[in-house]
Amino acid sequence: MKAKLNTAYHYGEEQEIGGGLDLAKTSTEEIIGQQINYAVYLDFSSFVELVDLLGGLTIDVERNFDDYRFPIPGKENDLCNGDSEYSCRYEYIHFDAGQQVMDGTTALKFIRSRHAEGEEGTDFARSARQQKVLLALKAKLFSLNFLVSQKPAQMYEIFKTNIKTDISQKEIWELGWLAFKSRQSEIRSTVLTNGDEGLFYTPPVSQYGQWVLLPKKDWPATHQFIKDFLYQQTDKF
C-alpha cells in the first residue's frame, strides 16, 4: 500500500493495537535512511496542557499570516445547514510577525495551520514553525526555573495518562538525564524542501491522487544528505 508518511500511525493501529508506533518508525527509517530507536505519540490536548503548564512559549513569528480555514475541533462532520462551503467548520486565525508568548491553544494553531495565504501555507513553512515550537519547548523544559519547580512531576502526570511511547520507564529517566546534561548544546535543524534548490519535486496530483513529494534523484541521495548533515552536527560536539 502506498500512502503519505503522516498516515503511517493510523494504518499501523488499524492493523494491530500498538502497531502505529512501529509502522511510523519503519516508514520514517525508509525515507531518511537512519534507524529510529524510539517513538512518542502525544495528542493535541496533551500538547496544550504541556505548553500551559510551562507558562507558554516565546516564539519569534517570521512573517504575518492569515488562515481563513482553520478547522474547529468537533465540527468535522457538521453539515452547516446545507452550506456547500461548510464554512461553519472553520475559523479565521491571524498571526503578527515578531516575538510573542503563546499559550497552548495558540501554539497548537500556529503549528497546525495549513491554509494560510502565501508562503506560510506550504507544508515546508508549517514544518519550520513546528521546529520553532520544539526548540522553544526544549528551552523551557531545561530552564532552571522549571527544573527546581514542582512542574516536572506535573508534566509526568500528563505524560503518564496521555502519551504513547515504546520507551520504558527506566529509559525515560536515563534519556531525561542525558538531555539535561546536553541542554547547553546547540541543536541544528533543517527542512528537506522542494523546488530548484531542494531535494524533492511535486509530481502532478493526478499521478497519485494526492499532493506528494518524491526525490529528484533517488532515495539513496536523500539518505546521503541526511547522513552528511548528522555527521556535521556530530563533529561540532
Tally of domains within the chain: 1
Q: In this prediction, what percent of the chain has a pLDDT beyond 70? A: 92
Per-residue model confidence (pLDDT) at position 197: 67
In a domain, 16, yes or no: no
| CA–CA dist 127, 200 (Å, integer) | 15
The verdict on residue 11 lying in a domain is no
Local confidence band at 237 (pLDDT 50, 70, 90 cut-offs): very low
For the beta carbon of residue 116, count every other beta carbon within 10 angstroms: 23
Instruction: Check if the beta carbon of residue 88 is closer than 8 Å to that of residue 78.
Output: yes
Grid cell in block for residue 80? 452547516
The parent domain of residue 180 ranges over 41-235
User: Do the domain assignments include residue 19?
Assistant: no
Least confident of 25-34, 166-175, 212-221: 166-175
The answer to whether residue 223 is domain-embedded is: yes
Distance CA 230, CA 237 (A): 12
Q: For position 139, which CATH number holds?
A: 3.40.630.190
Backbone φ/ψ region at 124: left (φ over 0), alpha (ψ -120 to 50), beta: alpha
Q: Is residue 175 part of a domain?
A: yes
Per-residue pLDDT tens digits for 203-213: 888 888 888 88
What pLDDT does 124 receive? Answer: 83
Angle value at C-alpha 121, between 120 and 124, nearest 5 degrees: 75
Asked, for residue 34, whether it belongs to a domain, the answer is no
Looking at 37-51, 132-146, 167-181, which range is the least confident one?
167-181
Please give the model's pTM, rounded to 2 decimal places: 0.82
Quick check: is 10 in a domain? no
**Residue pair 65/84 in contact by the 8 Å Cβ criterion:** no
**Is 236's pLDDT higher than 70?**
no
Beta-carbon contacts of 181 under 8 Å, excluding residues fewer than 6 positions away, are none
The SS3 of residue 88 is helix
Q: Which grid cell is 94? A: 491571524
Q: Answer whether residue 105 is part of any domain.
A: yes
Give the whole-angstrom CA distance, residue 223 versus residue 221.
Answer: 5
